[in-house]
Structure 1
Amino acid sequence: MSAEVKSSVSTVLSEALTALDAGEVVASRELAVRAKELCGDSFALANAALVRGYVEQTAGEVEYALDRFECARALAERHCDTPEGISLYVHATTSAATIYRLRGWYAEAERLLLTTLDRAGAAADREDIVTLCNELGVVFKYSGKFDAAAGFYDKALGLLSGASSVELATIHHNIAGLAHARGDYAAAEGPARRAIAVRTDVLGPDHPDVAADCAALAPILLELGAVEEAESLLRRAVEIFESTFGTEHYEVGISIGNLAAVMHQAGRKAEAESYYGRSLSILENILGARHPELAPVLYNFAQMIVETDSAGAREALERARVSLVSARVEESHPTLVSINSSLDELKAEKSNGNHVGES
């Protein structure tokens, strides 16, 4: 492929990513398709497939996104004898692993990432190792292997020491998420606020990634009793997500579920129930009815209705439990432990009620 054509492919893919960052999914897809038509070798095709995967993932076309990421990975594997090829291989791998994680296929994501980390080794640059370690941390957090997650986040943070970048903000965001999952809300607040500060400085206050940081801080503040700030952060996050991605996007569903929890804690149960219903509808349409990321929303919903509708609460808890067990999370996973405890309490109450009613 001539240098001129190679430059054209690179330029069009860069334009596609710029359009995607601006929320212009249709324009981004058209540019990615045009770039593929210009490609003349497997390396260029791998780059085009990776960008197309990003577009389709943003559009909610997860199946097709995974197909493009796996295609990019297979093509990039031919070029792992060069630094550029290794970097492309790492990004295609982490993108595919992200889809596996979103589907709840945690063991598969772990194997893919660990194999790639071992293969990349000393040949990969620092940024690529950070990318792999970060995604490994996220996967291990979701599967309940918190110590392993912390180890990978620490490694990534050490490699970014002294930097001020989007990558640094992402690591702080994820460290806060891990502390939140562990129930250590005081430890979670600091890195969550650092993520917002760093990313706002780099991307500006209205970027969807900043909105994601705000949405992550909100439930931490809710646990610490700062209900008004939590609500304000979530409403701002939902506004940015809906403006960027539309009303039926994954990030909208997650944020509305968290907003429902805020309404519940504030005693506004009618609003909370409406938000829980909308959150579950969005997430089920995107992820399926048995995905583990529905579990926290179902658990919180069950806690709200348990006193007025114990049967409905039991049904929500059973659904949440099945979604986590199907994903093979650790038995010590805090959400699964809380769900099992709530189910045991409901069973005991039902048993006691039956016993009292006997003659």
Structure 2
Amino acid sequence: MTTDDGVAVLAQARAALDSGDLSSAKTLGERATELLTVECGAEHPDTANAQLLIASAHEQSGNFAEARRAATAALSTLDKYAAGSLRAVTILRVRAEIAVANLDRISGDLEAARTRMTRMLNSLEPGDPIAAGVHNVLGIVGKFTGRFDEAEAHYRRALQLHEPNSLGMASILHNLGGLEHERGRPEAGIPWAERGLEVRRNVRPPHHPDIAADLGALGSLYLSAGRLEDAEKAFCQAIEIFTAEYEIAVVRGNLAHLQARQGRIEQAEENYRAALAGKRKALGDDHPDIAVTCHNLGVLLFDSGRQPEGRELVNRAHDLLTARFPADHPRVVAVARTLATL
């Protein structure tokens, strides 16, 4: 065995991840970790790098608990290196912090994600390109907490720090589109999302999960803008590409909303229930993301003559949101408004 074996396998794992082959990426990443542990030691940065790759593959697969295990292990290793270490080590540590913060955000602990990323940002030199990912997470947190201007400022700063037409730039364009959607301005978000998809397609293979994520987000913008045919096409393309149960659940929930608007009630209910089951399996029963689907399914059932079941679901959505967000949060306000009309 040569000292390059682990590095070579890690490169293969990275290629698999970049191509969207998440299963191979996880298998090769685990093998690289085993080899690098023997060759370099369990607390070597190269070993931590392999663990970060595993975390990314699990996150994209919707296996959030396994993603956290790998990301936390990598961060624990990198925390042992003093400030001012080699640039490569600094970059890895920032990536590890971003990975853990993003998993905090997915789990619904937005304040933990904000605190971690604010601390990380304060430790970096102004204008350091590796801060782009930190600004991105802070932008996402700002969006979900209703701090839209703050979110936009972070996204635009991240856009300045990324190389033009890079994957990082594509992610920020995607997120700027999502921010405008959350603000209730879908027409303003569509150009951002379309540009992000264009950039991503120039870098990623056609069936990569990132392409599906862009299509799903763009479909939501089309739906809100009333472009229903464009929305359904984008949703169906995304579902064909996605393999992660959680991601499929999100898109099926959006497709159900479209079908409800078209009066396709049975199809909408089927997709809402599938979305709810997928989200619960991935996130648990008390995650605020469950509230969106509970609310929409509840309204569908109420309007279809099944008032008690519909009202119960909308109440559940309200309880989930008020447990995490203040009364003036846009999503809390929207659900409270629905309850007042039932």
TM-score (norm 2): 0.92
Return the offset for 1:143.
Answer: 2.0
1:344 paired with 2:325, answer no
Q: Structure 2 counterpart of 1:198, which letter? A: V
Identity %: 31
SS in 2 for 1:121: coil
User: Number of aligned pairs?
Assistant: 334
Tell me: CA distance 1:279–1:221, structure 2 relative to 1, closer, same or farther (3 Å): same
SS in 2 for 1:314: helix
Q: Structure 2 counterpart of 1:144, which letter? A: G
Match of 2:143 in 1: 141
Once the two structures are superposed, residues 194-247 of structure 1 have per-residue CA deviations (whole angstroms, 9 ceiling, x without a partner) of 111111122243322111111101121112111111001100110011xxx25x
User: Which blocks of at least 5 consecutive residues in structure 1 are unaligned?
Assistant: 347-359
Work out the CA distance in 2 between the residues paired with 1:266 and 1:60: 30
Match of 2:251 in 1: 255
Map 1:143-292 → 2, pairs under 5 A: 143-160=145-162, 163-241=164-242, 245=243, 249-292=245-288
1:90 paired with 2:94, answer yes
SS in 2 for 1:164: coil
CA contact (8 A) 2:60 2:209 kept: no
Report the more deviating stretch, 212-221 or 28-37: 28-37
Q: Structure 1 counterpart of 2:307, which letter? A: S
Map 1:14-29 → 2, pairs under 5 A: 14-29=11-26
Return the offset for 1:165.
Answer: 1.3
Work out the CA distance in 2 between the residues paired with 1:313 and 1:171: 37
Q: What do you get for the CA RMSD once the two structures are aligned?
A: 1.9
Return the offset for 1:22.
Answer: 4.1
Work out the CA distance in 1 between the residues paired with 2:326 and 2:98: 22
Return the offset for 1:296.
Answer: 1.8
Work out the CA distance in 2 between the residues paired with 1:43 and 1:225: 49
Tell me: CA distance 1:24–1:198, structure 2 relative to 1, closer, same or farther (3 Å): closer
Tell me: CA distance 1:288–1:46, structure 2 relative to 1, closer, same or farther (3 Å): same
Tell me: CA distance 1:75–1:108, structure 2 relative to 1, closer, same or farther (3 Å): same
Work out the CA distance in 1 between the residues paired with 2:24 and 2:208: 19
Map 1:84-123 → 2, pairs under 5 A: 84-122=88-126
Tell me: CA distance 1:320–1:121, structure 2 relative to 1, closer, same or farther (3 Å): farther
Work out the CA distance in 1 between the residues paired with 2:211 and 2:20: 14
User: Which blocks of at least 5 consecutive residues in structure 2 are unaligned?
Assistant: none
Q: Structure 1 counterpart of 2:297, which letter? A: F
Work out the CA distance in 1 between the residues paired with 2:206 and 2:192: 18
Return the offset for 1:120.
Answer: 2.6
Work out the CA distance in 2 between the residues paired with 1:60 and 1:208: 11
TM-score (norm 1): 0.88
- Match 1:55 to one of 40, 54, 57: 57
Work out the CA distance in 2 between the residues paired with 1:194 and 1:59: 25
Tell me: CA distance 1:158–1:54, structure 2 relative to 1, closer, same or farther (3 Å): closer
Map 1:57-72 → 2, pairs under 5 A: 57-72=59-74
SS in 1 for 2:80: helix
Q: Structure 1 counterpart of 2:112, which letter? A: E
CA contact (8 A) 2:19 2:205 kept: no
